[in-house]
Structure formats: structure tokens, C-alpha cells
Structure 1
Amino acid sequence: MTEQKNHKTIEQAQQEGKYIRKVRSFVKREGRLTNGQAKALEQFWDVMGLSHNQGLINPEALFGNTNPVVLEIGFGMGKSLVEMAKNAPELNFIGIEVHRPGVGACISLAQEEGVNNLKVYEHDAIEILADCIPDGSLTTVQLFFPDPWHKKKHHKRRIVQPEFVETIRQKLKVGGVFHMATDWENYAECMLEDMSTAPGYKNLSETNDYVPRPDSRPLTKFENRGQRLGHGVWDIQFQRVN
């Protein structure tokens, strides 16, 4: 009986009314969908949306080409992700976000901008990585401004942990890059420590710590405001070497 339970997915167990405790790296804040977001989800989900229950994807079949694939975890309202996809038509982009209004906003903006090299999930990134993304399939993984969970007792909720770092390594191609950014210095230090001690990675920083913001990462309105107030932002890039 125990063996059978272990082979059930979390979703199956929950559907059967079983409570499974998971440490989440996010808080589910639904918020209201605007009319535009709801309309975008209704009209364009079939074109842009991906579902967890579809299982393992084939990126070449999904996008109809062999272009490199960039995965962004937690794209918020999607503005910078759409901008990146528009600026790099030679790349394919997959975004993961748990908040429905953000997914709707991203799809709406992508359609306005004529972006067709972007697909999105509305789901928990940990489960998408486990069940949907093939090993060795990604050129870049982006994690920009994840929830810092700044209280020490909440640090266990931070998404960047050794197990997560190893999962990302498996999904990257050899030579692929894991790019993180945060405006919370303690989190940056913890990210750097976890990445520096993880096997199979090389820091791309010339000073063995942080890298300058690459041009490929758009400067957000939030970040602009932070810079004016003297707040720091730390970019970290590690390459998979084996």
C-alpha cells in the first residue's frame, strides 16, 4: 500500500482529498482578472498555453524549429519576458507563473506585440521542471527577483536551494546558463553560496561573485526606481560544465 502511495502524483493525492504538506516558495495571490486578461486567456490559451497534465514536452515539435530554449521561472506580469522574446526571435521562450492575472497579462501583451516564440505555464515551477521539461533541453534558465522570504525563519521557503540548483543543472544543456537576479543582498549571498558549492557549475563572473546586468535582461520599472533610491541589484550567472 505504501509503495502505491509513493507512485501517486501530488495532484492525484490531492484530488482524492489527501493533504500533502509542501514547502512552497510562493504565496498564491489570485487577485482579480481584468477583462483584457480574461479575454486573452480565453482567446489565446490554445496558442500560447501549456498545461502540466500534458506531461513531457518536445520543444522542437512545440515551436516548430530547433532554436535554443530559454525558460523563465516566475515572470510576474510578463512585461520583461515578452520584451526579451520580441528582441530575440532566434530563441524560443517558455515562462512559468502561478498567478493567473500575470499569465493573462503576459499572453495579452505577447499578442499585442506579435510575439510567437513564447509559451507559458500557469503552474508551480517545481512540478513543471519535474514532469514537463526534458533533461538537457534548455540553453538558459532565468530566475529574476524571486520572493526573498527575508525573515530567517522563512528562508526554507526560498526557491534557490541545493536540490533546486541540481534540478536546474539537469535541465540545462552542457554549456547552458542559470541566470538569477535579486535586489535582496542576503538572498544574493545565499544564492552565490549555493551555486558555488553545487557540482557541475562554473561561475561566469570575472570576480567570482556577481556579473553586470546583461543587456538581454530588460531593466524593469521597479528596478529603475530602486536604483534611484540607491538600492542594489545582484545578477548571478553560472554555466553548466558537466
Structure 2
Amino acid sequence: MPETPKPTVGEAPHLRRPLSYVRRTARLTPSQQRAWDTRRHQYLVDVRREAEDRVLSVHPDWRFDAAAEFGRTAPVVMEIGTGLGECVVHAAASHPERDHVAVEVYTPGVASTIVRAGHAGTDPADAGGAPGQELTNLRILQADAAALLEHGLPAASLDELWVFFPDPWPKQRHHKRRLVSPEFADLAARVLRPGGVWRLATDWAEYGEVMLAVGDAAEQFHNAHGTGNVAPRFDGRVMTSFERKGLTAGRSVTDLEFVRR
């Protein structure tokens, strides 16, 4: 694994942060490629970058304007690390009264989310979704999540923040790459409104203990189920292929829920 570059004089802290992800080759299936070529502009937000070669960066002067993107003022739910889009697309289709923002770094994941969105529909009673019926309450940000929360979102602009099954980076030497940390809790607190909810889930038991400790120690949050306690399974989190694979392998899932003070 490549080491984090040494900082140069005057370099901003967000440029030195260990990344919680690794860049991978973006190979799309034919259906993903068609969605990417023809429909990404309906969902993918044009994020201003710090430089052309920093394709997942967020320029310090750029801000995501939810009201402008969605054309209305509504509760905003953001999911970080949306994977194939199963959870966020289901949530957007089930709750048209809310606006949903998917954050994902991998292009195949973004393309898969666009494919799903095109078949999800906007009627919660329509379980399968009508083909060709696009979601109007979903946008996708292909960007580094930590940078996005640090300066790409207005303060107190989210009603809920979801972090489901982030990479556990199980090896001790890679723990510094884990997304959920005391520093990340500060960023989550910055973007959530008072009373907003930070939801987490992991199928890696040790990481779940770390997440619980981080949330309980964060002064800006209180544990919705009491200090030291995990949450029941969040019924708004659909069973994804990733979660099902973990359960089949014998891993249990830890759900957590923290409320912004």
C-alpha cells in the first residue's frame, strides 16, 4: 500500500489526510456504460476540483447547494460509500419527501446507482419501479467524503448522515485509513443540523467497537440508545448484496445511531 505523501510547506491539512479508499480501475458493464454515457448528467453533480489530476478532490471554495440542485427545500439525507446504490436508491424511491445525496468514489458504483435510479420510480407503493421513471430526489457526488464534509457542504445542512459498511481496513498498520475516527466525528457534527442523525453499520466486529467508542466520546453527539449501546437494525437500510455476503460468512452487523446535540 503506498504511503501517505509527506506534506510540503504550506500544504493544507486535507491534502495530507490518509485516504480511506484506494483508486481502482473503472471497468463498466455495458449497461453501466450506457447509463454513464446517457444519463449521468441527471444525477452526477459537477464538483469543482482542486486540480485536474485530483479527480476526487473538492475545491475549498466549492459548496454543494441542495436547494439549487433539487429545486426545492426539503430534508437532506447523505449516504457516504453508496457502493452499488442499493440502499440510497431504495430510500429515495420510498421517501420522495426527502432529498438524497449519494457519495461514492468508484465509477462502476456511480454508474450502477444511475442504472438503479432509472428503474426505481418515485411511488413507494411501486415495489419494482416502472422502467424509465427517473428519481428526481437523488444526486450523486463522486468525491472524497472527508473533504466534502470539511468544506464542500454548508454547516448544519444535513438531516441525516449514513455511513454503512465502510472499508474496515483490518490490518493494524492500515487503521489510520479508516473513515470513522474522532476527526470524522467532528466533520459529521459540522454538517448535521441540531437533532440530525448519524447512522452507522459495519459487519466487522472490532470496527463496530471502534465506531461505538468514537460516537460515545464525541461531545457533539449523544447515543440515541444510551452510552455504550448499539442500535437495532435500521429499517431504512435495505439488505444489500454486500451485507448478505457478510452474514453468509458468519459475520454479525453492528448498527449505531447518534444524534447531533
Give TM-score scaled by structure 2 length: 0.81
Q: Which residue of 1 aligns with 2:74?
A: 67
Alignment partners' CA distance in 1, 2:72 and 2:259: 24
Q: Which residue of 2 aligns with 1:46?
A: 41
**Counterpart AA for 2:192:** L
Deviation of 1:8 after TM superposition, in Å, equals 7.1
Alignment partners' CA distance in 1, 2:227 and 2:190: 26
Q: Which residue of 2 aligns with 1:136?
A: 156
Deviation of 1:42 after TM superposition, in Å, equals 2.0
Alignment partners' CA distance in 2, 1:127 and 1:100: 18
Q: How does 1:1-242 map to 2 (within 5 A)?
A: 6=10, 21-53=16-48, 55-113=62-120, 114-206=134-226, 208-241=228-261
Sequence identity percentage: 37
**CA-based RMSD:** 2.1
Q: Which runs of 4+ in 1 moved over 6 A?
A: 7-10
Q: Deviations 1:85-130 (Å, cap 9, x if unpaired)?
A: 1111111000111100110110111012232210001121122223
How many residues get paired?
Answer: 229
**Counterpart AA for 1:69:** V
Alignment partners' CA distance in 2, 1:145 and 1:185: 11
Unaligned runs of at least 5 residues, structure 2: 1-8, 50-61, 121-133
Secondary structure at the aligned position of 2:74 is classed as coil
Alignment partners' CA distance in 1, 2:184 and 2:13: 19
Q: Which residue of 1 aligns with 2:127?
A: none
**Counterpart AA for 2:94:** N
Distance change (3 Å), C-alpha of 1:212 and 1:9: closer
More helix by share: 1
Give TM-score scaled by structure 1 length: 0.87
**Counterpart AA for 2:21:** F
Deviation of 1:181 after TM superposition, in Å, equals 0.2
